[in-house]
Amino acid sequence: MNYCIVGLQWGDEGKGKVVDIIAEHSDIVVRYNGGANAGHTVVVGDNSFALHLLPSGVVRPDTTCVITNAVVVDPDTLIKEIETLARRNITLTDRLFISENAHMVLDYHKKEDQLREESLGKNKIGTTIRGIGPCCADKVGRSYAVRMADLTDLEKLRAKLQSIAEYKNKIFAALYDAEPISADDIFEKCKFYADKLLPFITDTTEFLHKSITAGKSILFEGAQGTLLDIDHGTFPYVTSSNASSLGMPAGAGVPAKMVDKFLGVVKAYTTRVGAGPFPTEQDNEIGQYIRDKGNEYGTTTGRPRRCGWFDAVAVSYAATIGAIDSIAMMHLDTLAGLKEIKVCRAYKINGQQASFFPANTAKLSRATALYETVPGWEEDITEVNDFHDLPPNAQNYIMLLEELTGRPITIIGVGPKRKQTIFR
């Protein structure tokens, strides 16, 4: 069975936890988009792992991990992640494969991300400053891009970095009055990256297709969430990759028809980090209740996440474009203690009712959420492991979301740990 697991909101849905659980039955786990902007938390017993580039299957020692072509790899972060895991007795020798075609995020990308955000002032996107936008722009622009394969020919790379530094320094000086970057410094770091990462670099497309032929089961792990998709999300308040499941085939070099099941991950409410429209946002005591109870602070940047009610219009859209078969809903426990819970079932835009999500920021900014209000529950549910043992109002809430999204909710999270999961 091959799975694709993808976020259906604005990221941080709890994909790390769900991937870790499903990975028990997978031979290979594949990261196919995004970069170190992602922060995926996996909790095993009393140990918590915050992963940025390595697939969330990595904590299972027999799982093969693959980072494919469309991931923009920050070698510094990746090397740190590999070494941190090694100190915790999780080793990656012979079970990590990185695409030779993946682009590298280098220091000047992070610098450019920061300078651009600062210069935008109140119009900034609120990026993670991990250099994602500038690296993806260089990828699409082609002439000044660096890929993992470039580490195999250091003399050629030295010359390339020289021309990149000349080009970037003109931009940094003209637009930002910033200090120049040094090609020599970047080159020295690249030699270090080559030393550490070359053993892992390979043709991952070939590896994956051979694995499929050999009958291996593969889990494709999406980063971010569908509403942050560069083409189908709330542009320009999105990330720079195809973060919906539509990004999986191009991102991994494997056709979507090889996937047996597309599993979408949501929270029982909605969160968002960074700027952009958010029709169900609760910038009030309800949002704060959710933030405190759900510990809604970014895994990568530590920023407080914006919190709001579940948006069935947004999730239905994400499930539709993503061919989602079923949903895993995390953080049901976080809603306990609220007297009433609201769910957005439609929008009102310019006086008209709309049920199809407009991935057009101007339209979405004018959307008012139309809510269905249901009673909440008081009981702590963090120890419940059977759907029928949930308080009736919690069961009804799940069934309402199934009806509004048109998808079965087959996995329910009642806490961060593996065992705090209900299967239906």
**Of residues 56 and 99, the one with the C-beta less far from ligand IMO:** 56
Q: Which of 59, 96, 228, 252 binds ligand IMO (CB under 6 A)?
A: 228
State the distance between the two ends of the chain, measured CA to CA, in whole angstroms.
18
- The stretch near ligand GDP (CB under 6 A) out of 4-12, 144-152, 306-314, 385-393 is 4-12
111 vs 130, which CB is nearer to ligand GDP?
130
Instruction: Give the containing element (helix H, strand E) for 220.
Output: strand 218-221
Phi, psi (5° rounding) for residue 359?
Answer: -85, 55
Q: Which residue has the tokens 């542009």?
A: 235
Binding partner selected for residue 134 from ligand IMO, Mg ion, ligand GDP, none, CB under the kind-specific 5 to 8 Å limit? none
Closest by CA position to 286, among listed 309, 267, 266, 304: 309
Three-class SS state of 191: helix
Residues 6 or more apart in contact with residue 107 via CB below 8 angstroms: 181, 185, 186, 189
- Phi and psi (nearest 5°) for 266? -135, 165
Q: Which of residues 238-297 bind ligand GDP (CB under 6 A)?
A: 294
Positions in 298-317 near Mg ion (CB under 5 A): 299
Is residue 99 part of the contact set for ligand IMO (CB under 6 A)? no
CB of 139 within 8 A of CB of 106?
no
- Of 9, 26, 33, 41, the one binding ligand GDP (CB under 6 A) is 41
Fill in the per-residue mask, 7 to 26: x = in contact with ligand IMO (CB under 6 A), - = not in contact. Answer: x--xxx--------------
Interface with ligand IMO, residue 405, by CB under 6 A = no
Query: For residues 306 and 369, what is the distance between their CA atoms, to the nearest angstrom?
Result: 16
Which residue spans within 12-84 are E strands per DSSP?
28-31, 40-44, 47-51, 64-67
Q: Measured from the CB atom, is 38 or 394 closer to Mg ion?
A: 38
338 lies in the site for ligand GDP, by CB under 6 A = no
Q: Which is nearer to ligand GDP, 160 or 267 (CB)?
A: 267
Structure tokens at 30: 């594949």
Stretch that binds ligand GDP, among 39-47, 90-98, 319-327, 343-351 (CB under 6 A): 39-47
Q: Which of 12, 13, 311, 333 binds Mg ion (CB under 5 A)?
A: 12
Closest listed residue to residue 384, CA positions, set 417, 407, 409, 408: 417
Please enumerate in sequence order all residues whose Cβ is within 8 A of that of 179, keeping only pairs 6 or more positions apart, or say none.
Answer: 172
Shortest gap between Cβ of 382 and ligand GDP (angstroms)?
7
Of 107 and 376, which has the nearer Cβ to ligand GDP?
376
Active site residue 12: yes
Judged by CB under 6 A, which stretch of 38-46, 95-103, 179-187, 230-238 contacts ligand GDP? 38-46
Of 37-45, 132-140, 159-167, 401-409, the segment contacting Mg ion by CB under 5 A is 37-45
The structure tokens listed for 11 are 């990221």
Residue 72: name the closest of 56, 57, 90, 52 by CA. 52
Choose between 36 and 367: whose C-beta lies nearer to Mg ion. Answer: 36
Sheet holding 326-330, edge to edge: 201-202, 96-99, 64-67, 28-31, 218-221, 3-7, 261-267, 326-330, 409-413, 421-423
35 binds ligand GDP per the rule CB under 6 A: no
Active-site residue, selected from the candidate residues 20, 25, 27, 40: 40
Among 14, 233, 276, 277, the residue binding ligand GDP under the rule CB under 6 A is 14
Output 211 or 299, the one with its CB closest to ligand GDP: 299
Q: Which does 413 bind (CB under 5 to 8 A by kind): ligand IMO, Mg ion, ligand GDP, none?
A: ligand GDP
Among 311, 324, 199, smallest CA distance to 259 is for 324
Task: Count CB-CB contacts under 10 A for residue 47.
Answer: 9
**What does each C-alpha distance from 224 to 156, 300, 409 come to in angstroms?**
34, 12, 20
- Here the tokens at position 261 are 């099941």
Binding residues (CB under 6 A) for ligand GDP: these are 7, 11-17, 39-41, 43, 294, 299, 330-331, 333-334, 413-416
Binding residues (CB under 5 A) for Mg ion: these are 12, 39, 299
Positions marked catalytic: 12, 40
